[in-house]
């Protein structure tokens, strides 16, 4: 396993990490979660990602029970949660958002469900325009000072919002965000490669990217239709099916068909190529993977073997197929 620093922090995070977004509760119980997490941990994965809203708290409960059964030393792994949407159906105003009360309550709920004494990483799952930025940064700083959180970050924030949070932290001598969790894949590149470009060096932003397989399209499994056991067939994920069946989705599938010979030429699966491509970007601290079976964990982790094969010539061949490289910000 390769380990990378999380932004400018000294925290070493495994280049590939394990997330529970879709699978825990909807596809997996505690025993399956334990099996897949153990397969990842034994291969060197040290970061396990979660959120209050995933299965309305059940995902964290399952992961917490799996961690207890695994019995790993607490100092050997990193666990996260995210706050914003709440963990109940139809949350009341005080049960969601980034105001001090919900962030405080949600942190304690996450600690209880995950059965840990502190969160290594705590993300603001989306920006909250109804809460002053100073309140958000101050509350996250207080949680760190209380020893309940080690590093705080954001997910799906804009570069402007991150810059504002950083500025507030510096103005009031608070702790700025360390990392952002954006979507990143061959088909979703703008934010990581262009919008955030000025932030990596100026504020030392780390990234814990998700959806490297673009909701399954980059696996190639939708090349001939929608399999019955795929995410696009799950209740609540009708939007994935709509995306696959859309004109844009069909254009992306056509590109996947063109990419598959490149993967085959490297002795890799399409999934492994897509994951390794994300890792080729040095601004990526870690790529979060999901898996519902141990075999998927093992297959996806082999992307690390593909990474050294992604020479400049191979990357050019991939770029020729994708044709979507975002323009870089102009330097003045």
Residue 5 forms beta bridges with which residues? 12
| Mode of pairing for the β-strands spanning 179-181 and 206-209 | parallel
CA quadruple 25, 30, 31, 35: dihedral, nearest 10: 80
Instruction: For 56-83, give the DSSP string.
Output: GGHHHHHHHHHHHHHT--GGG-EEEEEE
Please list the active-site residues.
54
In this structure, the number of other CB atoms found within 10 A of the CB of residue 77 comes to 20
Contact between residue 144 and residue 150 where contact means Cβ atoms under 8 Å apart? yes
- Which tokens belong to 331? 């330097």
| Residue corresponding to tokens 């020479």 | 311
Residue 78 forms beta bridges with which residues? 47
Phi, psi of 173 (to 5 degrees): 55, 50
């Amino acid at each position: 396993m390769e380990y990378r620093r999380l932004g400018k922090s000294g925290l070493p995070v495994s280049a590939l990490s394990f997330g529970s977004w879709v699978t825990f509760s909807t596809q997996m119980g505690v025993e399956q979660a334990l099996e897949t997490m153990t397969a990842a941990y034994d291969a060197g994965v040290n970061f396990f990602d979660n959120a209050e809203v995933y299965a309305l708290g059940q995902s964290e409960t399952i992961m917490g029970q799996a961690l207890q059964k695994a019995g790993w030393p607490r100092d050997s792994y990193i666990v996260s949660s995210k706050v914003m949407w709440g963990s109940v159906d139809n949350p009341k105003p005080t049960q969601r958002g980034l105001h001090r009360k919900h962030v405080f309550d949600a942190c304690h709920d996450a600690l209880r469900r995950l059965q840990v004494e502190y969160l290594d990483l705590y993300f603001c799952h989306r920006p909250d325009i109804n809460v002053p930025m100073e309140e958000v940064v101050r509350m996250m700083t207080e949680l760190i000072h209380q020893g309940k959180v080690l590093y705080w970050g954001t997910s799906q924030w804009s570069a402007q919002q991150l810059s504002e949070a950083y500025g507030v932290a510096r103005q009031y001598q608070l702790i700025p965000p360390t990392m952002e969790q954006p979507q990143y894949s061959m088909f979703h590149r703008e934010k990581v490669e262009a919008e955030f470009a000025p932030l990596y060096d100026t504020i030392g932003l780390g990234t814990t990217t998700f959806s490297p397989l673009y909701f399954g399209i980059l696996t190639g499994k939708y090349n001939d239709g929608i399999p019955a056991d795929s995410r696009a067939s799950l209740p609540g994920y009708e939007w994935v099916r709509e995306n696959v069946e859309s004109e844009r989705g069909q254009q992306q599938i056509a590109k996947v068909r063109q990419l598959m010979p490149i993967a085959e030429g490297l002795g890799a699966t399409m999934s492994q190529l897509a994951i390794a491509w994300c890792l080729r970007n040095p601004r990526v601290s870690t790529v979060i993977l999901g898996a519902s079976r141990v075999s998927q964990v093992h297959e996806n982790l082999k992307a690390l073997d593909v990474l050294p094969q992604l020479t400049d010539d191979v990357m050019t061949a991939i770029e020729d197929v994708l044709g979507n490289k975002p323009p870089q910000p102009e330097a003045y």
